[in-house]
Structure 1
Amino acid sequence: MSAESPGKKLLSADSCRGNGLSPAESSRSLRGTTEDLRDDGEGNSLGSDSDMNGFAVTEERQVNKYGFIGDSQQYSGELAEEIPTEMLNSWDKWMAKKHKKVKLRCQKGIPPSLRGRAWLYLSGGKVKKEQNQGKFQELDSQPGDPKWVDVIERDLHRQFPFHEMFVARGGHGQQDLFRVLKAYTLHRPEEGYCQAQAPIAAVLLMHMPAEDAFWGLVQICEKYLPGYYSAGLEAIQLDGEILYALLQRVSPVACRHLRKHKVEPTMCMTEWFMCAFSRTLPWASVLRVWDMFLCEGVKIIFRVGLVLLKCMLGSQEKVKACQGLYETMQLLRAIDPHYMQEGFLIREVIELAVSERDIEKEHFAQLRRWKENHGDLHCKSPPRMHGAKAIMTAEPPSRQDLRQKPTIIVESPLESKTDGEGVNAKESKKPEEEKQKETIVPLKETGDPYPALSDPSPVLEHMTVRGSNESLSSAEHDTYL
């Protein structure tokens, strides 16, 4: 464990090392959440379920389709095209022979009902989970390092406080977030905890159970953004130089303006990159960006940053309005909503000609300059994997690792009926072997991994019950509720 104090990874005016947020950014409310960054008196976010961050328990709350209360998070329409049901069942074949179709599907937007499972498969988290059975439970049962536990607890209420899953202090969302982040500090004690990991884990938890979110976080930290959350921020500084080098090609006007006014890359892109835009964009855009990011890798994050910089500072007329560093930073903290709108942003990101080869070429060039100016990197990060195909190629999974498994076991209400009652009279006459083969098959996918808190879980509305103590889903149609 590093001797570095936890304060170096806290969001504070004194230091921004290891947290992914600049000191200037720490004093403002984060876009789309209007969250209050003030600590409670105890410095601990765990508390009563009745503490609702300003909402009375009895108050009626309007929740949008993403789970955000009222108008606290912008959103727009989302594509709802169907995805081939055999894709997840034959994931290795699709990635090997039909990767372009997978890529196109992710660019169009993954259907909400499949997003959680698709993200887990894309990131390689599914394989990691199967290859490390019981690992999360082992980490979850340990108390954790007190210094990281304390920091994590103080951060819990800051993550999407107007999302229904995280609005209650000490509620199930915050509890799962704590479990995932604490487990990661035990999984990587040399790295510990970084504040920018919390929104990443929270987004994952909105779409999958805690164990899956943990392995998704592991993959993002180790494969997609290696070194981003280590002390010193060397990896993010290096990628900042790569971003400016690419911006010189994409928008020379914007690049000249930023360099003229000495706007360092980390001043405008640290939160963007380390939080994968989850605290910057409208929610529909966040989800679409993540669909592509987990499929194609970090080049999507670079493209989003380049598009925003080009749109805000890409012409002489626009830069004339920013006569200095302060004005430029103010502009970049108040990006025109049109440029962040789902339809516009995704189209621009897809059309921008920046490839992983371009990023790697600039990476080696900037690495040489870094060594000349600063010496060797202190943080030895594993090589970056550019998306799902690269991850699968580097670590080929077995069919067993990819096999979908039931996630929830329920007791059938029909079990209590006698053999002579209605339908079950026929069921009782079937051979025992046939009964054991039968499973519960869902009639349709549920929209979210966790149903809205204001709605009862409509389990029986989504399935045909044919037995008892059976899985909620077949091997072909695993789903999260």
Structure 2
Amino acid sequence: MAKSRGENGPRAPAAAGSLSGTRESLAPGPDATAADELSSLGSDSEANGFAERRIDKFGFIVGSQGAEGALEEVPLEVLRQRESKWLDMLNNWDKWMAKKHKKIRLRCQKGIPPSLRGRAWQYLSGGKVKLQQNPGKFDELDMSPGDPKWLDVIERDLHRQFPFHEMFVSRGGHGQQDLFRVLKAYTLYRPEEGYCQAQAPIAAVLLMHMPAEQAFWCLVQICEKYLPGYYSEKLEAIQLDGEILFSLLQKVSPVAHKHLSRQKIDPLLYMTEWFMCAFARTLPWSSVLRVWDMFFCEGVKIIFRVGLVLLKHALGSPEKLKACQGQYETIERLRSLSPKIMQEAFLVQEVVELPVTERQIEREHLIQLRRWQETRGELQSCSPPRLHGAKAILEAEPGPRPTLQPSPSIRLPLDAPLPGSKGKPKPSKQIQKEQKEQQKQAKGYLDKPPTPNQTKMASAAGDACPPQDVAPKDPVHQDPAPQDSAPQDSAHHHSRESLTSQESEDTYL
């Protein structure tokens, strides 16, 4: 990789091994050995069935690196109010996105309720629309054999993803199986990109909140809309964003910027895993979820803001730099950040208040792209333009898009009583009105004596046609109109055949 220059000459380049390693195998975490021991336990139920093994509210084994200590709990009453507000937004999503997007952004900054986080991520990212526009596509990819070149690499990486989470604790468990399915499907969906190991923790986080098919389409949106080019073979997009981050740091924290320039430390040495994994392998889990809530709503500027906040508070004062006299000490400081600056409430507040906008990022992107072209030539991989969050993704959706409506998990016949109700449900006023009109028409037709011509026609028709079943007299139980019957039958069939894709998101509530 070509060297990039700082203020005082060329910065220390990222080692070729570390950069290419991001493409194929990010270094396993410190718990890799213990993870191998846990992964030999067999099925997930066996692994989680021991009495001494307790699970925290995020699904991590208590006492492991991923688990957290005491957390600030949201009062139950406040949580229920937030759930009610989010349910209203999700049930009227298009209206809210069109007229009240700022309100959605504020609620994402406060944190999405855990029970609705998976559904909200699908709606924010556009993954829900992608799924509706491509019915059966994931199943088709899932049934395909896949490229052996990528399958071997994916299988080697499965046990490294959150090995102390209950979904991924067992080698060959349901979590690792779904992770394999999602990553294999992406290599078939985008064979020109293939597989990058940084996609594995992204997909794993998604699988903790939604079924495999929904997780696949959210992964597609992240790779194509939020972080385009991040996972391509040359990793040019992440290198450009490293230069953008370093330039923005000069305005946010001149002290940190000057120190990194003096030490000639390439941004790729500290920001590659941050950005490519969206901090999923860096921050405490409660902070990861809050960052992702804002990231899905507002786009990559949240990733930039988090990186700038961490750099500012890790290297932004002379006192903090006393222990960072050389390159090694500085990089170690950034690899073992203080828990205080990563704490959920502190980090989110700093990120929300940091004045870094999409316009600044795009302006700096053009500057860095021009410098790249002057020193290295044209980019070898052509990535689609980056879209900054849910609003931009919605506006860029080509052509007519299906209206997002919540799908109930259980469909009842029109005349079936609701569970717990007495008798049959009362029909609506509109239905009652239509029933009365039908009764009047039928009565008038029967009371009116037939004319001779009608008698002859009826007799001829009776001779030509076999007798038909008599329609029921009760209009309430009449069959619906022909134009309505086909979609309803299709809906019933779809509900039975693909509960794991369309409706199974309700099980994650």
Assess same fold via TM > 0.5: yes
Residue 136 (structure 2) aligns with: 134
- What letter matches 2:507 in structure 1? Y
> Does the CA-based 8 Å contact 2:125-2:218 persist in structure 1?
yes
* Match in the other structure for 1:290: 292
User: Structure 1 residues 319 and 429 mapped into 2: Cα distance closer, same or farther (>3 Å)?
Assistant: closer
Shift, 1:147, TM fit: 1.1
Pick the aligned partner of 2:216 from 214, 217, 222: 214
Distance in 2, matches of 1:68 and 1:319, equals 34
Q: Distance in 2 between matches of 1:477 and 1:358?
A: 40
The one-letter code matched in structure 2 to 1:356 is E
CA displacement 1:150-171 (0-9 Å, x = unmatched): 1111111111111111111111
Residue 77 of structure 1 pairs with residue 79 of structure 2: no
SS of structure 1 residue aligned to 2:33: coil
Equivalent positions of 1:321-340 (< 5 A) are 321-340=323-342
Deviation, 1:49, is 1.9
**Amino acid corresponding to residue 242 of structure 2 in structure 1:** G
Take 1:37 and 1:186, find their aligned partners in 2: how far apart are those partners? 33
Q: Which letter does structure 1 place at the counterpart of 2:228?
A: P
- Matched residue of 2:251: which SS? helix
Could you say which residue in structure 2 is the equivalent of 1:36? 33
Q: Which residue of 1 aligns with 2:120?
A: 118
Q: 1:272 to 1:78 in 2, by over 3 A?
A: farther
Quote the offset at 1:69 in angstroms: 0.6
Deviation track 1:34-77 (CA, whole Å, cap 9, x = no partner) reads 3439879xxxx89942797xx68645311010111113222623
More deviation in 303-312 or 62-71?
Answer: 62-71
The verdict on how the C-alpha distance between 1:181 and 1:132 changes in structure 2, with shifts beyond 3 A counting, is same
Structure 2 residue 70 is the aligned partner of structure 1 residue 67:
no
Paired residues for 1:151-190 under 5 Å? 151-190=153-192
1:345 deviates by 0.2
Matched residue of 1:70: which SS? coil
Aligned-residue offset at 1:373: 0.7
Q: Deviations over 1:161-183 (max 9, x none)?
A: 11111111111111110000000
- Kept in 1, the 8 Å contact 2:253–2:312? The answer is yes
One-letter code aligned to 2:385: P
Match of 1:452 in 2: none
| 1:357 alignment partner, SS class | helix
Report the CA distance shift for 1:218/1:432 in structure 2 as closer, same or farther (over 3 A).
farther
Task: Give aligned-pair identity as a percent.
Answer: 64
The TM-score with structure 2 as length reference comes to 0.75
Q: Which residue of 2 aligns with 1:479?
A: 506
Which residue is equivalent to 2:343?
Answer: 341
Aligned to 1:385: 387
Which amino acid in structure 2 is aligned with residue 239 of structure 1? D
What stretches of structure 1 of length at least 5 have no aligned partner? 1-12, 438-467
- Residue 20 of structure 1 corresponds to which residue in structure 2? 22
The root-mean-square deviation of aligned C-alpha atoms, in Å, is 3.5
Per the TM alignment, residue 16 of structure 1 is displaced from its structure 2 partner at its CA by: 3.4
**Aligned-partner residue type, residue 33 of structure 2:** D
Do 1:130 and 1:401's aligned partners in 2 also have CA atoms closer than 8 Å?
no
Is contact 1:127–1:397 with CA below 8 Å preserved after alignment?
A: no
- CA–CA distance in 1 between the matches of 2:426 and 2:21? 63
Cα distance between partner residues in 2 of 1:191 and 1:388: 24
**What's 1:277 paired with?**
279
Compute the displacement of 1:27 (Å): 6.3
Deviates more, 1:194-203 or 1:57-66: 57-66
> Which residue identity lines up with residue 480 of structure 1 in the other structure?
T
Instruction: Tell me the alpha carbon deviations over residues 365-407 of structure 1, each in whole angstroms, 9 at most, x when there is no partner.
Output: 000000011101111000000000000011167563412224x
Aligned residue for 1:458? none
**Is 2:231 aligned against 1:238?**
no
- Taking structure 1 as reference, are residues 19 and 74 closer, same or farther at Cα in structure 2, changes over 3 Å only? farther
Contact kept? 1:281, 1:340, Cα under 8 Å: yes
More helix by share: 2
> What is the TM-score when the length of structure 1 is the normalising length?
0.79
